[in-house]
Structure 1
Amino acid sequence: MKGHFSNILCVLNDTHEQDEIIEQAIHIAKSHQAKLTLALALEALPPNANIVMESFSYIDSEQSMQSSARQWLEDKQQQWSADYPIKTELCIGQPLLDVVSLVGERDIDLLVKLSDDDFMDRLFGSDDIRLLRKCPCPVWILHRGNSRKYKKVVAALDLNYHYPEHEISVRKALNMDLLRTASQIALLEFAELHIVHVFDAVPDTIVRSGFISVDNDRMEHDLSKIHDERQQELDRLLAQLESELDTGVMDYLQPQRHIVHGYPRREIAATTRSLGADVLVMGTVARLGVPGFVMGGTAEDTIQQIDCALVGIKPRGFVSPLLPKPGS
């Protein structure tokens, strides 16, 4: 089966112990039968370095860094290309801008990188957050020690369509893209597919505060209606997915549903952890239909609480604020 992605960019920000991330990137590229480009993206030397240190020769050191980095990249390309064909790129300057520009120029449809921080209490560094906010293609963030073979894939869907009319179609399309991506990963990895949706009526913190009164019977009735509403929308999405797959694939996939009442910023991550997920697929933009809008609070809070890989996907029509506007 041909995979969901066709042109993958793997980004390295240093040369230290990179074999694991490259092996995983090659595994993903093989699974999807995709082209793979490896980019070493380094910060340029500060322009005033020769002023700060008298012994520092800026031009010589800049040239030396470029030469050494290029040689390292060439040596590693020979080593890694023995298993799978890899192209390479060296970017020295501003890594975030350079990487996003490369994504736009090369028509990349998936960016893979290692998390900037391996501490369990802060799994995603600032550059990861910026890429999840501003990179125009899906971003797949890995952690050291992740198994190459995933056993459980979770798709976090927002099935709440109580938004302005112009946003609803975008949200539905994003949910479908999340479901397609997660199902492709699950099929190619022979993994379980779990679908998580967390809905929140009146937040528990507000109810407990005592500032509003709630009729418990009426509230239970409302929650039941919301649950049924979200269940019906998930039925529709899965029926659409089944129509796109070959006969019998959905019976093999057997996605498991988890419609949970709670606070999304807490329960998406909690449910993902309780399932023992290897990778979470979720949307990473707040107000949809607004080109280039920054990542929402629910997404940002969630990714700081998970201990698995993440595939962050933006809605169709997303415009990266780091890329030139079309026609400019």
Structure 2
Amino acid sequence: MTGNSKNILCILSEAHHFDKIVSHAMQVAQYHEAQLTILLKLDALPPNANMVMQSFAYLETHNSMESSAKAWMDKQVALWSKEYPVTGTVAVGQSSTETIQYIMANEIDLVIKLSDADDQERLCGSDDMELLRKCPCPVWVVPRGDKEQYDTIVAALDLNYHYPTHEVSIRRALNKDILRYAAHVALMESAQLRIVHVFDAVPDNILRGGFISVDENAMENDLNNIYKEREEELERLITEIKAELKAQFKKGTMKKLRRQKHLVHGYPRREIAATATAVGAKAVVMGTVARLGVPGFIMGGTAEETLQQLTCPVIGIKPEGFVSPVTPPDAKAE
């Protein structure tokens, strides 16, 4: 089975606790029949190290560290390649911007990364967030610790199309990409697929503040209309994706998804993560860009707050036409 990804990058931030994430990356690469590169990304020596070391000693230590890391990588690549063909590379002191430029230069179409967060109460560290905001391809962030069985995959969709006309087609395409990715992950993991959409009529914080008066009957009618609108749109979306996937898989494969829909009334910044947690999500596929009609416009408040509340793996998807704010490696700065 050939999936959507052809060139996958797995990023390690240390030469420890890597077995699960590399094994996971190889599983994904095998499913997609993709090329897989393992990048060991190490911090440089502390900025003040050159103040306490002679310049030649500083350079010698840096070069020795890089040489040792490359020797380690060569050994690991030989071991990993017995299971699945991989290539390896080492970067010392590479910034998040330089990592994204590497991704651009090598035409990577999926990044799998072990979380930089130093505790289990949050999923993402600062480098993770930079990639989720600015990396042009999907980013799959996996928390530290043993990989759980991905028995439930959540596709978090924004089915609100009450935006300027030029944005609506982009939003629909992004929802299709999210649902498509989630379906592929669910099939790869033999997991059930939960589709989550959270909608509201008037934001709770405005109502609670008493800034407007609302006719309860009118609001109930509005909510019913919104629910119907979103349900119809979701059914259209599911029908399109089912037709696409049926053409790729054997008959009866789609039944394995055990698909369920969750249309929830509430405040999206709170309820997306809460609903994902309530249905037992082991991974969440979601969009990570704010105003889709603005090239390079990075993460919005809903995505940011949702990520802060999740502790399970997340696959962040960019919309078609997204332009990273990072300057491509072959472009000249103006």
Same fold (TM over 0.5): yes
Task: For 1:61 and 1:149, locate their aligned partners in 2 and report how far apart those are by CA, in whole Å.
Answer: 41
Structure 1 runs not aligned, ≥5 long: none
Compared with structure 1, are the counterparts of its residues 307 and 204 closer, same or farther at alpha carbon in structure 2 (3 Å cutoff)? same
| SS at structure 2 position matched to 1:245 | helix
> Residue 315 of structure 1 aligns to which amino acid in structure 2?
P
2:304 to 275, 300, 307: 300
Shift of 1:93: 3.1
Could you tell me how far apart the structure 2 residues matched to 1:183 and 1:239 are? 13
Q: State the Cα deviation string for residues 226-272 of structure 1 (Å, max 9, x = none).
A: 00000011011011112212254444434210000000011000000
Show the counterpart of 2:125.
Answer: 125
Which residue of structure 1 aligns with residue 97 of structure 2? 97
Instruction: Find runs of 4+ consecutive structure 1 residues off by over 6 angstroms.
Output: none
Shift of 1:327: 7.0
Change (3 A) 1:252 1:76: closer
Give the equivalent residue in structure 2 for 1:317. Answer: 321
Q: Would you say the 8 A contact 1:201–1:223 is kept in 2? A: yes
User: What number of residue pairs does the alignment pair up?
Assistant: 328
Counterpart for residue 79 of structure 1: 79
Residues 1-328 of structure 1 aligned to structure 2 (within 5 Å) = 1-45=1-45, 49-53=49-53, 57-147=57-147, 149-246=149-246, 248-324=252-328
- How big is each residue's C-alpha offset from its partner over 1:26-59, in whole Å with a ceiling of 9 and x where there is no partner? 1221222221100112233356532244598111
* In 2, Cα distance between equivalents of 1:95 and 1:10: 16
C-alpha displacement of 1:16:
2.0
Q: Structure 1 residues 51 and 318 mapped into 2: Cα distance closer, same or farther (>3 Å)? A: same
Q: What secondary structure, in the 3-state scheme, does the structure 2 residue paired with 1:57 have? A: helix
TM-score of the aligned structures, taking structure 2 as reference length:
0.93
Provide the rounded CA distance (Å) in 2 between the counterparts of 1:22 and 1:93: 22
The code of the aligned residue for 1:172 comes to R
Contact 1:118 1:143 in 2 (8 A): no
Contact 1:42/1:95 (CA < 8 Å) preserved in 2? Answer: no
The residue identity in structure 1 corresponding to 2:140 is W
Which shows bigger deviation, 66-75 or 317-326? Answer: 317-326
Q: Does the 8 Å contact 1:42/1:91 carry over to 2?
A: yes
CA 1:47/1:215 → structure 2, altered by over 3 Å: closer, same or farther? closer
- What is the alpha-carbon distance in structure 1 between the residues aligned to residue 170 and residue 314 of structure 2? 22
Distance 2:184 2:205 in 1: 38
Give the TM-score taking structure 1 as reference length: 0.94
Give yes or no for contact 1:50–1:56 (8 Å, CA) kept in 2. Answer: no
Q: Structure 1 residues 277, 76: closer, same or farther in 2, change over 3 A?
A: same
Distance in 2 of aligned mates of 1:301 and 1:281: 15
Q: The residue matched to 2:8 in structure 1 has which SS?
A: strand
Give the Cα separation in 1 of the matches to 2:127 and 2:41: 12
Q: Give distance in 2, aligned partners of 1:59 and 1:145.
A: 34
Could you tell me how far apart the structure 2 residues matched to 1:156 and 1:150 are? 16
- Distance in structure 2 (CA, Å) of the matches to 1:18 and 1:250: 33
Q: Does the residue aligned with 1:145 lie in a helix, a strand or coil? A: coil
Asked if structure 1 preserves the Cα contact closer than 8 Å seen for 2:35 and 2:86, the reply is yes
Distance in 2, Cα, partners of 1:274 & 1:171 = 26
On the 8 A contact 1:91/1:98 being kept in 2, the answer is no
